[in-house]
Amino acid sequence: MDLTGSRKIAAPRADVWNAILSADCLKACVPGCTEMSGSPETGFEATVVQKVGPVKATFVGLVRLSDMVPPKSLTLDGEGKGGAAGFARGGARVHLEEDGDCTVLHYHVEAKVGGKLAQLGSRIIDGFAKKMADQFFANLQVEIEGPDDIASPAQKKKGWLNRLVS
């Protein structure tokens, strides 16, 4: 399945670029991620716990970054092995476009599943993948911009960028 979309983030392009390259940020953004380590050069090792329809599984996998054109575009490829649940594999082509003070993040995601995930969950896998991608990019926005509700400046600091600069 393929997903294409874009999201406007209230941060300069370089900040968005750096966020995508951070293991901490990715851990916070990937839904169900319990562990994330590594670097853009070596790739990130990730553990993700997710439930797809009737199948709940812990996926252990590697995320690699490639085609990197700082700070404009890159490709993320990940494959997770979920043991008996099968496997999930996805790639995202990300393009960052400057828009005044903001950055528009364009993405094109491809995802594939195999094994039990495909056998039992094929009807719901497209919706699930869309939800995962939406959540990821929404989380990314929150991580970079901080929560929408900025009543308290302390809360705003929870954003990844602010943690980085504070």
Q: Give the interface with other proteins as residue ranges (CB under 8 A).
A: 83-84, 86-87, 112-116, 118-120, 122-123
Q: Please state, in angstroms and rounded to a whole number, the distance separating the CA atoms of residues 125 and 151.
A: 38
CA 74 to chain centre: 13
Q: Which amino acid is at 92?
A: A
Identify which of residues 34 and 119 has a Cβ nearer to other proteins in the complex: 119
User: Cβ 44 to other proteins, closest distance in Å?
Assistant: 20
Contact criterion met (CB below 8 Å) for 94 and 107: yes
Identify which of residues 84 and 154 has a Cβ nearer to other proteins in the complex: 84
Identify which of residues 40 and 86 has a Cβ nearer to other proteins in the complex: 86
Q: Please state, in angstroms and rounded to a whole number, the distance separating the CA atoms of residues 79 and 84.
A: 15
User: Cβ 118 to other proteins, closest distance in Å?
Assistant: 4
**CA dist 51 → 47, 78, 130, 139, 157 (Å):** 13, 18, 14, 19, 31
User: Cβ 24 to other proteins, closest distance in Å?
Assistant: 29
Identify which of residues 119 and 152 has a Cβ nearer to other proteins in the complex: 119
Identify which of residues 106 and 115 has a Cβ nearer to other proteins in the complex: 115
Alpha helix ranges (H) inside the chain: 13-20, 23-29, 116-145, 153-156, 160-165
User: Cβ 7 to other proteins, closest distance in Å?
Assistant: 29
CB atoms within 10 A of CB 11: 21
User: Cβ 124 to other proteins, closest distance in Å?
Assistant: 9
